[in-house]
Chains A and B, each alone.
Chain A
Amino acid sequence: KAGVTQTPRYLIKTRGQQVTLSCSPISGHRSVSWYQQTPGQGLQFLFEYFSETQRNKGNFPGRFSGRQFSNSRSEMNVSTLELGDSALYLCASSKAAQETQYFGPGTRLLVL
């Protein structure tokens, strides 16, 4: 069974731009969670989607948003990028909420 995939793997943007990241979960998994990983803050929860509904949201500004499609694929969007948004963005999928999460390889975003 194919693992969680994320596209693109690397991205360079400038301040003020917006970016969309994509996550395809493991086949049969309906829950997708997103995390931001930085050296200083570690792994921080962004949001969780299940059956196209946002079930939980972390403590991030409204510039961070996401959605989930009927095939369970998920996207996250960051608008008005700031230098501090440079990070590795990881998504993780699970069969359902409260189940074991499996991570994708991440998208490394650099904001200049």
Chain B
Amino acid sequence: GENVEQHPSTLSVQEGDSAVIKCTYSDSASNYFPWYKQELGKRPQLIIDIRSNVGEKKDQRIAVTLNKTAKHFSLHITETQPEDSAVYFCAARGLGGSARQLTFGSGTQLTVLP
């Protein structure tokens, strides 16, 4: 089945700096890659997603890039703010059978220092 690896597991940045979180996936048939943000004690919330027919997607300070050849995708957060502090999860999903489920990375604890 699909395997998603996420790095780094923890990331500390100064407020205003950029943060980058990287994920690699194993199933070349995967075609959907969402990113979720989970604040302490709260539900995971979708912040951005990308499909395999697109190389990059941007939403204000957040962007995701996808390299299908290398089977990796990254989350970029610019001008970080203290409220960006949370655990971020990447995920991948394929088309059929067991590949249809979302497989999550292990998460990145992002801390934005004021």
Contacts and interface: CB of A to CB of B under 8 A. Distances in A.
B101 A48 contact: yes
Interface residues of A, number: 21
Interface in A77-103: 90, 97-98, 100-103
B44 A90 contact: yes
Nearest to B42: A105
A64 interface: no
Nearest to A41: B106
Nearest to B98: A56
Interface in B16-69: 32, 34, 36, 42-46, 49
Interface in B93-107: 93, 95, 97-98, 100-107
Contacts of B49: 100
Contacts of A45: 101-103
A32 B39 CA distance: 22
Given A98-B93, A106-B43, A42 B101 contact: no
Interface of B: 32, 34, 36, 42-46, 49, 89, 91, 93, 95, 97-98, 100-107
Interface of A: 4, 33, 35, 42-45, 48, 55-56, 58, 90, 97-98, 100-106
